[in-house]
Each structure stands twice: as C-alpha cells, then as structure tokens.
Structure 1
Amino acid sequence: MPTAGGVNIYRVEAIHSPTGSKMDLTDLHDFAIQARMAFIVGVETFDRVFAGIRFAEIDGSLLYVYARDEPTAAEIEDNYALHIAIVASQIVGREIDVVVVLPKVLQ
C-alpha cells in the first residue's frame, strides 16, 4: 500500500463506537472523502454538485451525507452514490452498502 513518510495515504483509520454499528465521521474522514470525490468527478462537477457537502456518519452499512439542498441531494444520490460508497469504504475501512443523501435543512 502506498505511503508518504510511512503514513498510509489511502485510508484514514476510523474510530468506531463500542457497539461497532454507529460511527460519527471526523473532519479528516469528511475531507478525505471530499478530496477523493473531487479527483473522480473533476473540479467543475465537484464545485457545482458537491459544494457544502458533509459526510456525517455511518450507521451499520449506511452512510449519511448532507447536501446543500434537496435537488442537489437527489442528484448526488442518483448519480454518485456508488462512487461515494466505494470511496468511503476505502477511507473508513468499513463496508458501505447504502448512501443516504439528505438536504442540510434536515440535519
């Protein structure tokens, strides 16, 4: 696995809850997922679609994401959920099967 100065550059170690089912993502997790998604979709799409996004928490195999509004949440869920699930699984080291994208007003 590639490293930079001995540090794994592809995975951020996750801190899990004692029950192992629910986990609040840290800012580092959030920013790492955002960076990887920006690389995948490109800067113009990222700035248009992912501006203001928050990758918030994992509950079981569900990842909860907050987008700026309802139309953006629907677009992300419809078009990018699979990419997000793969990226988030790699970064947090847990299997993500479902990505639930909600508007921030419901946060």
Structure 2
Amino acid sequence: MKIFNRFPNLDSIFNKMILSYIIIVLFITLVLGGTFYFYFTASYNEAVENVHLKMLEQVKNTLNTKIIETVESNYMILVHEFISNTNDLFGFHDDVSGNHTKILQTYNYLKK
C-alpha cells in the first residue's frame, strides 16, 4: 500500500493516459519486434544456406579441376606410355619359349 500512497492521484486522467500510452507503445514494439525477428531470422538462415551451397559448389569444382582432372591426365599419360612401350616392358622381342612368367604376368594384367 505504500506505493499507492506515493501516487495519490492514480485515478487521474493524466496518469491513465500515460499508462495507456506506455501499454500501446510496448504492445506495438513487441508485435513489430516479434514479426521482424521471425522474418529476418528466416531470411538470414536462407542466405546462410545459399552461401553454404555456393561454397560446396566451389569445393566440388576445385576438386574436379585440381585433383580429378590431374589424376585423369596422369593416368592417360601412363597408359599412353604403357601402350607405346609394351615390348620394352614385357620383353616380347625375345623368343616365347623362355618367357612363361612374363606371359603369365601379361595375361593376369590384361585379365584385370
């Protein structure tokens, strides 16, 4: 009751207008703040997801260009060298009678 004793004119029109003004301002602030919070957080999360997708796309492109294409080009170089040097690698210029191991190695290699 001490609080009411300090404000003896609590029922005055001026005090009622100030109280209603404060209630209206708080209500509008809460409604607009809540609306903007939910709208902008959803928009922000969508923007973050788009940035993450772009980063993943960039990592994918980097992997394709730097690693996979390099491995494929090295593989093609090795295959080309293998095909061009087959006689040197397996020694088919020698007679076949002593090259059973090399023939078996070639057969197993081609079987893969």
Kindly name which structure, 1 or 2, has the bigger radius of gyration based on alpha carbons: 2
TM surpasses 0.5: no
Structure-2-length-normalised TM-score: 0.21
Which one scores higher on RCO, CA 8 angstroms, separation ≥ 6? 1
Could you state the TM-score of these two structures normalised by the residue count of structure 1? Answer: 0.21
